[in-house]
Amino acid sequence: MAVEKQTIEVAERSDEARELYGLSWRAVVFSLIFLVISLVWMYKAGLVGHGAQVGESVPVIPAVGALLVLTLLLPVFQKLPRMFRLQRSGALLVYAFLTIAVSMSSVGVVRMLFPNSTALFYFATTENNFAEFQQYVPDWIVPHDPEVIRQMYEGTDSEPDAPAWMIPWLVVPWRAWLTPLVMWTVFLLLAFIAMMSLMTMFRRQWVERERLTFPIVHLVMELSGGESSQATLSFFKNGAMWAGFTLAALYNIMNILNAWNPSVPAMGRTYDIGALFTERPWSAIQPFSIAWRPENFGLGYLVPTEITLSVWVFYVLLRLSNVAATAVGYEPAGFPHVQEQSFGSYLALGAFLIFVGREHLARIFRRALGMAQDVSDADEPMPYRMSVIGLIVGFGGMLVWAGMAGMALWTAAIYFFLFLLFALVYARARAEAGAAMVWLFPFYQHKRMMINIAGSEPFQKMGGWSNLTIFSMLMFLSRGYFQSMMAYQIESTKIADQGKICQRSMAIWLVVALVVGLAGAYVIHLQAYYMHGANILEGGTTQGGYRTRLATQEYEELASFMKGHKEPDRSKTGAAAVGFLVTAALIGLRTVFLRFPLHPLGYAMVTAYGPPLWGPFFIVWVVKTLILRIGGMGMYRRLIPFFLGIVVGHFFTAGLVWGWWSAINDELARRYVVHFG
């Protein structure tokens, strides 16, 4: 009996070790199960319905929901036979998988890719000259059969005679789409590998040397059991957490009831301060609203006070600059060009991050060349030599792909460089500030600023119309949020570190998540398009939803270049220069004066996407400052569960509960559309 018991204990330890290294088949099975559930959910609630975009949240709500379910069930799993037991590390692997896989089906990746690649064909008329550019699009990027494209936007004319569950599969012309889908997968995989390689190079600098706080990882680890290596469920036994949870739940419940019956009092989603200012020049302060974003309140509590201070101070200064300009009669369209300032700010921060990490980067390259054997990379997501090769192959492969499509290599090189640089800065913002917003970067500005700085003519003269055509088709890279995946990558490495998971296994698992997630995204989107017609999805009527309108506007601008090239835009270029200089000045001031209160990251964040961010950060800055002064660090730590409870309560009520109700009753859900991005 003793020998048998010892054998069982050894087997259990071996099984647990495999789980810790990410080799558990249970984690794989649960990842696929929750992904299928998430895809059905997003098909119903996000594509066919329009009540809650649960894949746009940070972190994605299906991943949070899966982690909650698995963590609560872990004690039950421990009572099952050994082969069915799921460890805490397995639940964390499921979460990491879903953050990548589910994001592919959301509004910022595949849902933007499809209209971007097809709108040039479907919306072509004699007036808009779209047909002139179709010749520059290879048939391996998008099907050229007009009927295939028409049915995508208008729906299939007749359904096949088959069982109901098979019809969505049979209506899609998979053969026509096979090559384009494979080629887009190759392109996005190359971009993902390039991001992961770059992330690996900066991971140790940020995690071990600078010791960034990773607020979102803190939330994830608390949900899965806190600092203990095993799930203790202590987070769910904390009264302060349930107080925050209740507060966020009541906020959403009252808003939902108000959407059903307007006589029910509710806070709504915003409070418009700007409406109080009706006379010039003060009316120029609009838009000036506080957005009630519970996730930003909760996670903002973990953000350094210097960043929360900087966010609201710079937002107020930007709105006041508009008032001052109006007072002196200076009213150019778009002033003060906030997102263009963000473009310059991100450039400056990217350069600064590279400068700060230059010694570590130099050691990585020496290690890759075999010249620094004393530099260890055993605990990295990939060996340093592999990370250098991965960056070269990923970036170079993207260039080859774009060149084969017809894009000039110099244009592609600048565009993809900005893509990776901004992905790096956004990952830094998430690691240091943890702002729960997927659009917190100068979206759309990569391409727009290249045109604003140089004008459109150089891109045509030094690359032809095919250069501009593919440039427009790849707009989704800058307007969508695929680059935000680098933040999930580095957060996953932090989760692996705290959850005792092998970094190499986590890296491979994320690549698998990308490929599987893309396959799932292709399936649900094409099925929805050919069953219902892309024109009427996402709130569309006969001209498609929001992302389709973005694509047609992009090609309308492209067609306008044939009539007359766009000249360089000095005001927007100047705004980008201002953003660069302000950020550089803030970096310099913080270097010279260690207690300087304003942080350059706060300026970059608020210029990127300030309206939903500044209000919650202002309120949480006031609250946190009072807590630290009255109760010190002890009170601050005791109240962390309360603020995390606000996040969990919001995600549970507005995401899980209301999100599933959106899938069931879309008509009612449209009265209260929840935005998480």
pLDDT digits (tens, 9 = 90+) for 479-512: 999 999 999 999 999 999 998 899 999 999 999 9
Q: What's the whole-number mean pLDDT along residues 542-566?
A: 89
Q: What's the whole-number mean pLDDT along residues 358-370?
A: 90
Indicate whether 13 belongs to any domain.
Answer: no
Indicate whether 400 belongs to any domain.
Answer: yes
* Run of H or E including 270: strand 270-272
Indicate whether 595 belongs to any domain.
Answer: yes
Q: What percent of the chain has pLDDT over 90?
A: 64
pLDDT of residue 227: 61
pLDDT of residue 196: 97
**pLDDT-based confidence at 258, cuts 50/70/90?**
confident
pLDDT digits (tens, 9 = 90+) for 50-101: 666 777 888 999 999 999 999 988 888 878 887 778 888 899 999 999 999 9
pLDDT digits (tens, 9 = 90+) for 382-440: 999 999 999 999 999 999 999 999 999 999 999 999 999 999 999 999 999 888 888 99
- Judged by DSSP in three states, 565 sits in coil
pLDDT of residue 5: 46
Q: What's the whole-number mean pLDDT along residues 345-352?
A: 97
pLDDT of residue 665: 67
CA distances from 161 to 166, 313, 533 (A): 10, 63, 19
Query: Following CA atoms 542, 548, 550, 552 in sequence, which dihedral angle do they give, to the nearest 10 degrees?
Result: -70
DSSP state of 656: I
pLDDT of residue 251: 93
Between residues 56 and 637, the one the model is more confident about: 637
Q: What percent of the chain has pLDDT over 70?
A: 93
Say yes or no to pLDDT of 543 above 80: no
pLDDT digits (tens, 9 = 90+) for 434-460: 888 889 999 899 999 999 999 999 999
Q: What's the whole-number mean pLDDT along residues 536-560?
A: 84
Q: What's the whole-number mean pLDDT along residues 224-239?
A: 73
* Run of H or E including 291: strand 289-291
Question: Taking Cα atoms as reference points, which of 659, 662, 676 lies closest to residue 107?
Answer: 676
Indicate whether 575 belongs to any domain.
Answer: yes
Indicate whether 613 belongs to any domain.
Answer: yes
Q: What's the whole-number mean pLDDT along residues 526-547?
A: 81
Question: Taking Cα atoms as reference points, which of 65, 237, 28 lies closest to residue 655?
Answer: 65
Indicate whether 451 belongs to any domain.
Answer: yes
Give residue 216's domain range. Answer: 110-669
pLDDT of residue 3: 43
**pLDDT-based confidence at 17, cuts 50/70/90?**
very low
Indicate whether 447 belongs to any domain.
Answer: yes
What does pTM read for this prediction?
0.92
Indicate whether 79 belongs to any domain.
Answer: no
Question: Taking Cα atoms as reference points, which of 220, 201, 215 lies closest to residue 430?
Answer: 215
- For the chain, how many structural domains are there in total? 1
Q: What's the whole-number mean pLDDT along residues 190-216?
A: 94
